[in-house]
Amino acid sequence: MGKDNNSNTHEVTLVEAVNLALRRALSDDPDVVLLGEDIGTNGGVFRATEGLKQDFGYKRVIDTPLAESMIAGLSVGMATQGMKPVAEIQFMGFIFAAFEQIVCHAARMRNRTRGRLHCPLVIRAPFGGGIQAPEHHSESTEALFAHIPGLRVVIPSSPTRAYGLLLSAIQCPDPVLFLEPKRIYRMVRQRLVDSGKGLPLDTCFTLRQGKDVTLVSWGAAMHETLQAAERLARDGIECEVIDVATISPLDFNTIKRSVQHTGRCIIVQEAPRNGGVASEISARLAETCLMHLRAPVQRVTGYDATMPYPRQEHLYMPATDDIIAAARTTLEGL
Amino acid sequence: MSTPVPSSIEKPRYVAPPPLVYIEPSGKSNRDLPAQIDFDWLRQAYQHMSLIRALDKKAVALQRTGQMRTYPSCLGQEAVGIGTGMAMMDADVYVPYYRDQATLYLRGVQLKQILQLWGGDERGHLFDGAAKKDLPICVPIATQLTQAAGAAVALKSKGVKGAVVTSCGDGATSRGDFYEALNVAGLWQLPLVTVINNNQWAISVPRQMQSGTPTLAQKAVAAGIEGIQVDGNDVVAVFDAVNHALQKARSGKGPTLIEAITYRLGDHTTADDATRYRSASEVSDAWQREPIKRLQTWLHDHDAWDATREQSLHGEIKQQIERAVADYLAIEPAPVDDILRYQYADMTPALEQQRTWLLQRHGG
């Protein structure tokens, strides 16, 4: 992690930004506790928690036994008693043992007790494909959680947004699933001021303005989406690019306003096509923007198939060319 | 019904001691009661158990007449709940399962609220008093146990002088959550007391078809923690075990697993019919060991109870239950939009929009 002398500014990757945000939260709030497998001495398998146990001690950066359901259950119990647990599930493919605690308890505690208790926990999990990992290490199952009332599902796509969104997630009184796109953990560096300032969890981020077509995505696929916008711009096609960031509850208004302006929309998701967040966005565009649409909404997605093992992984992932092709289809006749 | 163990497999070496009991099913005691137990304490325990039994009977009756939703009777398990509750202090945190009417009552939850909960109203969970930070009733089996461990982590790290008590049924001990909670509690020496209500039945599956272990208490051995088996129909034994475990927990000496051996005299819930899977003779045998009669006998034998006291107690209980039922039936319906209001700390734009649809359909 590069650091300017005598300043609070860092040149960081996404995973380093996560580390900075965790460090900041641990410093600012004595109730914040990190827990998970291999997060202490080892600093996490992706090094997201590197150095934190050394600096904050084993009581605040807790290496747990290997049991995801227990990690989530502990977090629920801690959160109801005034702590702010930030749990790591090592890979999202292993979150299903914790699914019951997240869905049946964390998401419901406030409603079940009519506001007497709440569950301000964060569960961080690296997700998505593209790192040539074994089975169960590459899936994108964010829609399963986006479907659950009471949960917030947040996905950063850059170092600065990872830092700001994670700080807000930790401060948020609701349970937050914070999904980290591990393919871009170390893809780019960004200049980041460690200001302790969060970014809002209730808005999409418009990364590029344009009048011809709206490109909507989140997580690692933002990278290909921005590349597509760049290449289309060379041909004079101006894309508006939206990073959804918080996929649930969804800030639909930002998307709607953009599509009302451009009349065209491509939604890019790495997850399978059926029943995904892209489906929800398309449905809502159909409900509210039909008269503004100049072409059918297009989805660029993974397949309705199990995530392949590494040798065929590239066949599954949405590519920049796929996004460009979809954009050109909607622009036919322009 | 249990599968025989092949003779080639060596029997486990651990031999559990006989369960702790002070007042036998006959009402006789073969050992001195713990020092802090006096006549007043015993009379109080008797009164609490009698009240909970009356509440339970009333709740079932309300369900049968359409004034209560599905209800899990705690008939026969009163000593586990009351013994536990009487050992707890306000600074402790309780993490219940769903058959814990007795302990919740002692934590300060009103009888009306218990009826309200099983009458299908979330507002019954607006616990106050000692129960203010207690967790709500947990319906998914055993999931409360790791939460209780988490609550114990919080108390420990905040330096609170209390401990966490959680409970479950015998069926819950088959689940991974049970082992995961015990494992971490033993590892971190958490201030946690786990009370198993071994009522012999996981709905229709009897205890001997749930696990090959001779006792559920010895499941603690693998987690490196103390496991105690008590007669769960002896309120003194339950109190003594929980009190011991709580004092240990509060002084930083780690967790305890308590198996309270009791019997579910009623159906699993009002939606169940236990005659489908167990015999009338088994149930009538179990009635010989139930918790209230034996304590009454003991009190009578020690001239600490008589027919006059019994009569006046029943008069008081009748009044208390009638008032609770009247209060329960008089509860105003919750605002329509309560179903949306507590999903998040603040209403989201989508929920705001859905609120207008809801109110259009169901009035303001």
- Cβ of B154 within 8 Å of Cβ of A76? The answer is no
- Gap between the Cα atoms of B22 and B257, Å rounded: 19
Distance between A90 CA and the closest CA of chain B, angstroms? 18
- Cβ of A81 within 8 Å of Cβ of B176? The answer is no
Task: Evaluate whether A107 touches A151 at the Cβ level (below 8 Å).
Answer: yes
- ipTM of this complex: 0.95
Distance between B239 CA and the closest CA of chain A, angstroms? 25
Query: Closest by alpha carbon to B90, among B222, B224, B246?
Result: B246
Q: How confident is the model at residue B16 (pLDDT cuts 50, 70, 90)?
A: confident
Can you give the pLDDT at residue B15? 73
pLDDT digits (tens, 9 = 90+) for A322-332: 999 999 999 98
Report the 3 state secondary structure along B53-82: HHHHHHHHHHHHCCCCCCCCCCCCCHHHHH
**Residues near A304 by beta carbon (within 8 Å), at least 6 away in sequence:** A272, A273, A274
Using alpha carbons, list the distances in angstroms from residue B36 to A129, B20, B92, B120, B163. Answer: 63, 17, 20, 40, 20
A83 closest CB neighbour out of B143, B154, B343: B154
Can you give the pLDDT at residue A7? 72
> Strands A9-12, A190-193: parallel, antiparallel or unpaired by DSSP?
antiparallel
Is it the case that residue B348 has pLDDT exceeding 50?
A: yes
User: Helix H segments across A29-67?
Assistant: 52-56
- Gap between the Cα atoms of B159 and B80, Å rounded: 28
- Cβ of B140 within 8 Å of Cβ of A100? The answer is yes
- Cβ of A116 within 8 Å of Cβ of B350? The answer is no
- Exposed / middle / buried, residue B5 (Cβ in 10 Å: 0-12, 13-18, 19+): exposed
Task: Evaluate whether B124 touches B116 at the Cβ level (below 8 Å).
Answer: yes
| Chain A residues closer than 8 Å to B104 by CB | none
- Cβ of B126 within 8 Å of Cβ of A110? The answer is no
Can you give the pLDDT at residue A220? 98
Active site residues of A: 137
Residue B277 main-chain phi, psi, to 5 deg: -135, 0
Distance between A257 CA and the closest CA of chain B, angstroms? 15
**Interface probe, candidates B109, B147, B177, B338, chain A, greatest A C-beta count within 10 A:** B147
Domains of chain B: 39-332 (3.40.50.970), 335-364 (no CATH)
Can you give the pLDDT at residue A5? 55
Using alpha carbons, list the distances in angstroms from residue A107 to A112, A151, A153, A173, B127. Answer: 9, 5, 11, 11, 19
| Chain A residues closer than 8 Å to B151 by CB | 77-78, 80-81
Is the preceding peptide bond at A249 cis, omega within 30 degrees of 0?
yes
- Cβ of B342 within 8 Å of Cβ of A69? The answer is no
Q: Any bridge partners for residue A268, and if so which?
A: A300
Can you give the pLDDT at residue B364? 56
Can you give the pLDDT at residue B200? 98
- Using the Cβ of B355 and the Cβ atoms of chain A, whether some distance falls under 8 Å is answered with no
Can you give the pLDDT at residue B8? 55
The stretches in chain A having pLDDT less than 70 are: 1-6, 333-334
Can you give the pLDDT at residue A29? 98
- Gap between the Cα atoms of B317 and A45, Å rounded: 60
pLDDT digits (tens, 9 = 90+) for B251-283: 999 999 999 999 999 999 999 999 999 999 999
For residue B202, give the 3-state DSSP assignment: strand
pLDDT digits (tens, 9 = 90+) for B232-254: 999 999 999 999 999 999 999 99
Strand arrangement, sheet containing A213-217? A205-208, A239-243, A213-217, A265-268, A298-300
pLDDT digits (tens, 9 = 90+) for B293-331: 999 999 999 999 999 999 999 999 999 999 999 999 999
| Chain A residues closer than 8 Å to B136 by CB | 109, 112-113, 117
Can you give the pLDDT at residue B12? 57
The full DSSP string for A251-305 is: -HHHHHHHHHHHS-EEEE-SS-STT-HHHHHHHHHHHH-GGG-SS--EEE---SS
Contacting B residues, span 264-323, partner chain A, CB-CB under 8 Å: none
Can you give the pLDDT at residue B363? 83
Can you give the pLDDT at residue B10? 62
- Cβ of A59 within 8 Å of Cβ of B157? The answer is yes
Residue B192 main-chain phi, psi, to 5 deg: -135, 130
| Chain B residues closer than 8 Å to A252 by CB | 349-350
The full DSSP string for A119-168 is: ---EEEEEE-S-S---TTSS---HHHHHTSTT-EEE---SHHHHHHHHHH
Q: How confident is the model at residue B107 (pLDDT cuts 50, 70, 90)?
A: very high
Domains of chain A: 9-193 (3.40.50.970), 205-331 (3.40.50.920)
- Gap between the Cα atoms of A38 and A50, Å rounded: 10
Query: Closest by alpha carbon to B92, among B124, B134, B129?
Result: B134
Is it the case that residue B125 has pLDDT exceeding 80?
A: yes
| Chain B residues closer than 8 Å to A118 by CB | 345
Of all residues in chain B, the percent with pLDDT exceeding 90 is 94
Task: Evaluate whether A251 touches A216 at the Cβ level (below 8 Å).
Answer: no
